[in-house]
Chain A
Amino acid sequence: MSAPSSPKVGGASGSTSPKVAGALTKAAKAKADVPEMDISLEAWIYNIRTVLHFPGTVLTVITLIISGAFIESASRKSLEMLDNVFGKILSFAVPVCLAYAIDWQTGLLAAVVALILFARLQKNDTEGFLNGTGSDSVQSTKIVQNTHRWFVEKVLGEMPLAISSDRIQTKRYDDNDTRTSSSSSMSSSYTSDSAR
């Protein structure tokens, strides 16, 4: 890729001035100095990784910090999809992948978020409407269709959409002690309780 030494660089007519020929010579020299561009897939991946490293790190760290801070207040139902083998594998794989792809600091942060997620999943709490599967609970969810609100609801600014349970089911006390069940007065009081 040597620059042409002849002043007749510009064309076949031979009328190119020495000034233009010098400029063309300089351009040819500059072109010769630029290394040939690597257009292979590996080079593309390397370039993309280099360009996106900083914004990717910032976005990942912000996402991890926000998700780690709000896992505690997230509903258990939204986290239940991770409460299986797939979720556990994902919780281990994501920190490792982040440590390889970005840096180990981000991987450490992801591991901490995964541990917080595990702790949150270990905590069993009931929320929302009860299923009513237990023998003692009664499922009687009713949608509120009446626009009239109670005084308490007006004062507290509540607009209930549904009532989870509006009745209470009580059971009489079953005394297995044979000494007290022989009394006739006790049995009559049970009857009166159950009749209420």
Chain B
Amino acid sequence: MDPTGPVDMVLRMVIVLALFGWNVFEGLSLRTPYPATMVALWDSPVWRMALLLTIWLGAEWCPRVGIMTALAVVSYIVDMVQII
């Protein structure tokens, strides 16, 4: 679970911050529309499976990355289920 080196540590921090920004400005705000590509990809089950797999892989890599990924994916899927 601990970073294996400085590169790993920086990479984790960058991804956590990026996901935090995404969740604040995109996932938790209903006024911000999702990108058209993500809306179009919602119909594909492979895309949905890839999103769920990303949660598990992110959690295996780093707990903070996993939790942030889970929050982003849940926001996206719930919005898509409710809107489309």
- Expressed in whole angstroms, the minimum distance between the Cβ of A51 and any Cβ of chain B is 21
Q: Chain A interface (Cβ within 8 Å of chain B)?
A: 61, 64-66, 68-70, 72-73, 104-106, 108-109, 111-113, 115-116, 119-120, 122-123
| B: number of interface residues (CB 8 Å) | 20
Cross-interface CB contact of A68 among B48, B60, B63, B67, cutoff 8 Å: B48
Binding site for A on B (CB under 8 A): 45, 48-49, 52-53, 55-56, 59-60, 63, 66-67, 70, 73-74, 77-78, 80-82
Query: Please, which residue of chain A has its CB at the minimum distance from the CB of B78?
Result: A119
The answer to whether A116 touches B81, judged by C-beta atoms less than 8 angstroms apart, is: yes
User: Could you write out 18 A-B pairs with CB less than 8 Å apart?
Assistant: A64-B52, A68-B48, A68-B52, A70-B45, A108-B55, A108-B56, A108-B67, A109-B59, A109-B70, A111-B70, A112-B52, A112-B73, A116-B74, A116-B81, A119-B78, A119-B82, A123-B81, A123-B82
Inter-chain contacts of B82 with A (CB < 8 A): 119, 122-123
Q: Is the interface of B mostly helix, strand, loop or mixed?
A: helix
Q: What is the count of residue pairs linking A and B with beta-carbon distances less than 8 angstroms?
A: 60
Q: Return A150 CB to nearest CB of chain B, in Å.
A: 30
Inter-chain contacts of A109 with B (CB < 8 A) = 52, 55-56, 59, 70
